[in-house]
Structures are given as structure tokens and as C-alpha cells.
Chain A
């Protein structure tokens, strides 16, 4: 099995090599005539105002945090799923308890309206 992970590394390196090659070739070949207006950030033909890395709605943070919570839930499920055939009915009740616990949190965020985008 270890050798397969070495193969993953090879694939990563090959993919990285191709990506780097594309970037380098294009950087060497294209014309380079940057003017001030050409290098201006896009803003529908107006002069840009302010910075483009502004504060953004808290919704995105909430979604990211909820994703972490629920993705950990999913991560707990994988080993259970693969070994499920060997575990039998007891594993089902355990999984159900876990899912119900998580669902309490899910219903709470639903009622709080965290997932509502105006």
C-alpha cells in the first residue's frame, strides 16, 4: 500500500510540473506592455474606490463554521460505513443516537434562521 502513496506523490509532481510549465511558457511568450490604465482593477470603467478586500457578511463565516461541524460528523461516519457489515444492529442504534444529537443542533440553527439568506 505504501507504494501507492508514492504514486500519489508522482502524480502530484507531474501535475505541478505541467501547471508550472504552462505558467512559465505563457509568462515568457506573451507581450508585456502594461500601462497604468490597463493594470487598474476592474470597476465598470470607473476609477476604483477603496480597497477590494473589504469586510463581508457574517453569513459566510457562519456557513464555514457549520460546514466544519457537519463535515466532522460526516468524517465520523466513514469508518462506521466501511465496517458496518461487521457491526450489526448495535451499530445502527449508535449511529442513530449520534445523528439525532447532531440533528438537535441542525434544528436549532434552522430555528435561529442561520441558513436564511435574505
Chain B
């Protein structure tokens, strides 16, 4: 059956595209971090350092694969594998264009009616890889790192799951392609769901263990967290899973809130057909979010662990729930109204919340100097 062959081909192409993108994202991240800190970044291996990822990959493959004597053999090998498989699979749900726009094939691997739920479900399976890896390592720092990671990721998953409910209610579908087409017809959801987007963005940072929430790794406190005992390709697989998860959340954010693969309709008047360039818009939007991840990493300090858990449970969860109920009330009692009013209400709540979380409240929670 040629259909199956096409899907296999697309799956292999997507997987290799993600691996290449991962490799180059590490390079781009190092270069941008360097630029932010007024230095050059890797620029020796190849022009502009473009061969650096290749050199890193070859090095990590030829490294000795150390397996600590106290490690649980099977789970120690399986954990990074689980992480990377979940990360790769989740991306297949992201639609990259209208049907048949990829040389006559559909620019996605699978288009499920429960699309966004599938992405959330598979990416959260990555928690297993991290926790089991930390547990199986047979060393104390990985155990702590794995525990922290799993508690953090499941806590922020709540906020993530709740923050997309507003989108689902407005669109009336969980299918990612329908969400994109709805936005093309009615306007980007970021305008109507700014509160939902804010909570989703924060939980995406925490879900992918990025600064300011990179507690599981926290190399100054926990050595390298769950990664401590991993070497060669297993370590690389974990890094791969992390970066692919970043790309997936960037793609999900662009799809849910920023119109996904569709460009702005008004641009069609200037450059005809530009709103339908397959993949171009999606990649541009993803690039923006990936840059945001790197930018935040370079500029924000890490939270303390208790602050992190308190924020997830006491701020993010109630705010996401509030957003859900706001949208529900709006849709139930003002059915005919424009969604712009809803967007304004969300913006108002967001600004109010930011104003209320004053510096004084933060100072009150900080440990007193000399105490403890």
C-alpha cells in the first residue's frame, strides 16, 4: 500500500528533521546566549560554528557508555529511550499546512480529533523517562533530581491542561487543524485568550524543565539532577528529548494561540497567497518561541523549589481555573457578543493579577536574613 509508505516516509523525515533541528538548536542557543552576554559563542568548527553540532554528535556516539555498578540495568537503558520516543511521537500531531500541501501529501503524520489531548498525553509520558532514569541510576543526586522533576512536571501539567480549556470552549473542537482554521476565519486566539496563553506559556517552561524552572537539573545544587550518571548517547537522548519538547511546545503555542500554519490574512493583499505558504509560517512562529525560551534562559534567575511548587499550585492552577470559568460564563450568558470583549476581560484580569502580586508579597515570603 503506497499510503502506508508515504506515512512511513513522512515519519522518518519528521524524525530526522527534529533531530537536525535539535542539533542546530543547541548551537543557536549557545550562540544567542553568547550574544546576550557580549561574547562570540562557538565559531571555530566550520563557518559560523555550523559543524559544531556534528562534532558534538560524533563525540557523544564514540564516548564510553558508562553504566554505574549500582544501576538497574534494564530501566537505566530504557528510561532515556522512553523520553525520546515520547518527545518524537508527540510532534507528529502538529499540522504543518492545509491538506495535500506537502507535495500532494498531508503535512502532518496523524490528524486526530483529540489532537491537543494526544500531544499533552504523550509529552507527559516523558515524566516516566525522567523519574525512572533518576531512580535507576543508583546514585543519590539523580534520585533527588528525578523526584523534583516528576513533582514539578505533574504540578504544572494541571495548569497546562486547564489553560487550553478556554480555547476548546471557544472553538468547540480539540482537533488542531480545526483550531487553526477557526483562527484563520475569526482572528487569532491570543487576542481572546491572553490569560490562557499566559498560564500555558509559564507551564510550558516548567514542563520542559527550562530556566526559571530548571530545578531538576540545577547543576549548582544537584550536580546534574537525573542526568548525573548518564554518559554518551543516553545523555544525548535526554537532551534531545528536552529540546524536542521545547519545539513541540513552541509548535503547540503557535497552533493554539497564534494561528499555526496560517499567516495573517491582510498580507494576502500585498503578497497574494502568502497566508498559505505551507510550513513557512509555522516555522517562523516556532522560531519566535524557541528564541523566547533561550532569551528567558539568559535573563532570569532560577526559582527556589518551594517557590516553584507554591507558584504552580497556588497561582497557576487557580488562575487557569478562573480563566476557564470566565470563558464558560461569557459563552453562556453573552452568546452573541464579539470575542474581543472576552479578550479585554482576560487582559484586565492579567494586569490586575500582576499588580496584586507586588514585590512586598514576595519580600514577605523570603527567608529572613540570619534565620533558618
Contacts and interface: CB of A to CB of B under 8 A. Distances in A.
A39 B169 contact: no
A74 B66 contact: no
Contact of A11 (B88, B117, B137, B141): B88
Contacts of A92: 328-329, 331-333
Contacts of A111: none
Contacts of A88: 332, 335
B153 to A, nearest CB: 10
B328 to A, nearest CB: 5
A1 B332 CA distance: 31
A19 B237 contact: yes
Contacts of A64: 150-151, 154
Contact of B81 (A4, A23, A39): A23
Contacts of A89: 332-333
B172 A52 contact: no
Contacts of B67: 34, 39
Interface stretch (B228-236, B289-297, B349-357): B228-236
B89 interface: yes
B81 to A, nearest CB: 5
A41 B154 contact: no
Interface in A41-97: 41-43, 48, 52-54, 56, 59-60, 63-64, 66-67, 70-71, 74, 77-78, 81-86, 88-89, 91-92, 95-96
B340 interface: no
Interface string A8-45: 10111011101110110111011111101011111100
Contacts, number: 218
Given A32-B65, A39-B68, 18 more contacts: A10-B7, A15-B11, A18-B15, A20-B81, A25-B233, A26-B63, A33-B64, A38-B66, A39-B67, A39-B69, A42-B223, A52-B143, A54-B143, A74-B161, A74-B165, A82-B174, A95-B328, A115-B310
Interface pairs A-B: 8 shortest CB-CB: A26-B233, A117-B306, A15-B88, A41-B139, A92-B332, A7-B110, A81-B168, A14-B11
18 contacts: A11-B11, A11-B110, A14-B8, A15-B89, A26-B233, A30-B61, A30-B63, A30-B65, A39-B69, A41-B71, A41-B140, A64-B154, A70-B158, A74-B162, A74-B165, A91-B328, A115-B310, A115-B313
Interface of B: 3-4, 7-8, 11-12, 14-15, 19, 60-71, 77, 80-81, 84-85, 88-89, 92, 109-113, 117-118, 135, 137-144, 147, 150-151, 154-155, 157-158, 161-162, 165, 168-169, 172-174, 223, 228-229, 232-234, 236-237, 305-306, 309-310, 313-314, 317-318, 321, 324-325, 328-329, 331-333, 335
